Chain A
Amino acid sequence: MLESYLLKKLQKKKILLMTHIVLGYPSFEDSFRIIETMVNAGVDLMELQIPFSEPVADGPVILRANQKSLAGGATVKRCFDLAERVVGSFDIPFLFMSYYNILFKYGVDRFTQKMSEIGLYGAIVPDLPPEEGDAYLKAMQKNQLAPIFIFSPTTLDERLEYLASFGDGFIYCVARKGVTGEDTNFSKDLNSYLARCRKATKLPLALGFGVKEKKDIDFLKGKVEIAIIGSETIRLIDDKGVGVVGEFIKSLKI
């Protein structure tokens, strides 16, 4: 479902843009406004992060957004409520992103069923390799949701194929080592990695970690189907407030 949507969109656009926000940061009302602004500015799909107290794969920008959201009273229920409102209001695919404990404590079956009822398209769970994901994979499939798996530059070819065999929708290619929010060197070095990714799967490729401006996205055109912007919008909101998000997305001229 997600993949066919993406392929249809890609007939009109050379590269799609996925953005990321932490639900409840700076507040739930702000989250809604940010999403509205992003959709109006032409974002093609979005990942909505349910905050977790131990976001190991995230760098300082997203880590602090997680903490502040939780300190402000974020709960899984409020995240579901907002997701429901958002999906009902805007006509692009939304994914959940969170760490596995959030799904596990809620009950993986109940969690995925609720995602499906609301109309979410899939989920990104960065600390859940397929080896640990039996229950999750079954539940996602049952509810026709796309489990998004992650490729990394340290992943061997054989394992890329193994991961791809569980993936649906698209593959999230991490651009480099490290956590979210650090700089990435968008140079020829990425090409051989992306060629390895391409060889391992027929699914569309998305690239994230360190994507923050138009020239990064221009570099990625023709190399991947989706560019992912994560920390950069949160950093902008931290520095300049919610109001600048629309202008920023438009400046990327996707």
Chain B
Amino acid sequence: MIKRGYYDGFGGAFLPEILVATFDELDNVFTQAKKEPAFWEKYKDIMSDYSCRPTPLTFAENLTRHFGGARIYIKREDLNHTGAHKANNVMGQGLLVKRMGKTRVIAETGAGQHGVATATMAAKFGFKCTIYMGEVDMMRQRPNVFWMERLGAEVIPVLDGTKILKDAINEAFRDWVTNMDTTHYVLGTACGPHPFPEMVSFFQSIIGKEARKQILEKEGRLPSRVYACVGGGSNALGIFQGFLDDPVELVGVEAGGLGLDSGRHASRLSSKDASIGIAQGYKTYFLQNNDGQMRETHSVAAGLDYVGVSPILAQLKEKGRVRFESATDREVVDALSLAMKKEGLIPALESAHAFAQAFKDAPHLSKKDLIIINQSGRGDKDIFTVADAFNDPAWRDFIKGKAEEYNA
């Protein structure tokens, strides 16, 4: 094992022996690519050509006026191809897959965004593609399943465990230990064994690099705060990396679910319910019981209900560099509603967690303060969940009508 990737005691590479050689190969290829300035340039070109980068930094004039505090900017990762920051990581790993000469990619997906992004990358680069998705998530995010399949990917429902993101990760690993000669596992977030946390953060750092440049161009100064939602942590690390060395407060917002007291949430760094453990190949804070068994998590957002969290964020939490908060399902739906009505923006339910916390803080900041919210993805994928959350009667009638049409 070449390198283990530790962040003050978090991270590591707790690998079954069968995968050690595969990780060594990946680590070598990634380390080499990272050193080459031309590789980053090529990556940037692809992201510009294929995925609308740099994504805009939008001034939210109406929300700013509404809260009467800080000036609110929104980093528009929703405008990436496939509608989320997931495209950044996926295209980057796709370039590495080409270097390694592999012909097949596999991925886990929770909300489906990472699965769709991986399926587009596979189509573009000519790889075979298999996506593992928990059965519960397939129900929640059926439109993304449809797109993955249309894009030529095989979507395998995961029926074991809690049937959500972590279980999909386990299944992807089980595929990989058999097929590593031809296959690369495109892990979707900054978690898992080294080099994944470092590699995914590296590709996502494009968000923060752009955002820092853009805010300086627009305002001539740095923001007071930057907000991002935290599932595994890749969009948060992406934007935070642009401001780590600046006097900027970084705020990560986790899924508060039905409230921290309810026990039905996915807050690993902002609640007292998580403890340090080792699972899925790395060491971090996990929502687990005293025996070390992972617990069930809950969030209205399928992309945030993960039991673990990036070891890099765990380190930043311990260092006090990032403040972690949580937003409840209810607060998130309200924040989404306000963003839509005031700005015509449709953040994903995941991203709306960052909006919810920013909305709590904005009125207490001065008019000189600038804040950036990372809109990590777009919300139209959530139409079924959001329609249910709004209890929209017209939508319900439409679905009933559609079902009758199919039955006829």
Seen from chain A, the residues whose Cβ lies within 8 Å of a Cβ on chain B are 52-57, 59-60, 63-64, 67, 70, 75-76, 99-102, 104-106, 126-129, 131-132, 149-156, 159, 163, 174, 177-179, 182
Contact = CB atoms under 8 A, between A and B. Distances in A.
Interface string B283-325: 0000010111110000000000000000000000000000000
A127 B16 contact: yes
B17 A105 contact: no
B96 interface: no
Nearest to A128: B14
22 contacts: A54-B166, A54-B279, A56-B280, A63-B160, A67-B160, A70-B293, A99-B278, A100-B278, A105-B275, A105-B288, A105-B290, A106-B291, A126-B16, A127-B278, A129-B13, A129-B17, A152-B16, A154-B18, A154-B22, A154-B180, A177-B18, A179-B174
A104 B293 contact: no
A154 B174 contact: no
Size category of the B interface is 35 or more
Contact of B20 (A53, A60, A129): A129
B292 A105 contact: yes
B151 to A, nearest CB: 27
Contacts of B29: none
Contacts of A53: 161, 293-294
A57 B177 contact: yes
- Residue of A53, A105, A132 contacting most chain B CB atoms (<10 Å): A53
Contact of B177 (A128, A151, A156, A179): A179
B194 to A, nearest CB: 11
A101 B161 contact: no
Contacts of B22: 154
A127 B15 contact: yes
A163 B13 contact: no
Contacts of A156: 21
B387 interface: no
A102 B14 contact: no
Contacts of A75: 291
Given A56-B170, A179-B174, A132 B12 contact: yes
B363 interface: no
Contacts of A154: 17-22, 180
Given A104-B278, A129-B20, A178 B292 contact: no
A52 B16 contact: no
A155 B16 contact: no
A164 B227 CA distance: 49
Contacts of B277: 101, 104-105
- Residue of A129, A152, A153, A156 contacting most chain B CB atoms (<10 Å): A129
A189 to B, nearest CB: 15
- Residue of B17, B19, B166, B279 contacting most chain A CB atoms (<10 Å): B17
Contact of B1 (A63, A129, A150, A174): A129
A106 B277 CA distance: 11
* A-B interface, 10 closest residue pairs, ranked by CB to CB distance from nearest: A105-B292, A178-B178, A101-B292, A152-B18, A53-B293, A53-B294, A152-B17, A150-B17, A57-B16, A154-B21
Nearest to B292: A105
Given A54-B166, A56-B170, A177 B280 contact: no
A101 B160 contact: no
B263 interface: no
Given A67-B161, A76-B291, A102-B292, A54 B14 contact: no
Contacts of A63: 160
Contact of A56 (B4, B13, B281, B292): B281
Contacts of B178: 177-179, 182
Contacts of A54: 161, 166, 170, 279-280, 294
A129 B14 contact: yes
Contacts of A152: 16-18, 20
Nearest to A156: B21
B20 A105 contact: no
Contacts of B280: 54, 56
Nearest to B275: A105
Given A102-B291, A132-B4, A59 B174 contact: yes
Interface in B20-67: 20-22
A106 B170 CA distance: 23
A60 B18 CA distance: 18
B132 interface: no
B173 interface: yes
A178 B16 CA distance: 11
Nearest to A59: B174
